[in-house]
Amino acid sequence: MENLFYTLQDFYTHTKGVTYVLMVGILVSIAFFWKFLAGNDDD
């Protein structure tokens, strides 16, 4: 698979899309990690 960017706008669009996907993944990971840390043991 060849990734060619013919214009600067194509590069910006690709980069922005990848950034949005990464940020959503990071935010979801932080939420689950926070829930893991704040979990209480009701023994």
Q: Would residue 15 count as lying in a domain? A: yes
pTM for the full predicted model = 0.69
Q: Tens digits of per-residue pLDDT, 8-34?
A: 999 999 999 999 999 999 999 999 999
Residue 3 vs residues 24, 35, 39: alpha-carbon distances, Å:
23, 38, 44
Confidence of residue 5 (pLDDT cuts 50, 70, 90): confident
The boundaries of the domain holding residue 23 are 8-37
CA distances, 38 to each of 25, 30, 34 (Å): 20, 12, 6
| φ, ψ dihedrals at 5, nearest 5° | -110, 115
Residue 25 token pair: 């993944």
**Domains identified in the chain, total number:** 1
Inside any domain, residue 2: no
Q: Is a pLDDT exceeding 70 seen at residue 1?
A: no
In a domain, 26, yes or no: yes
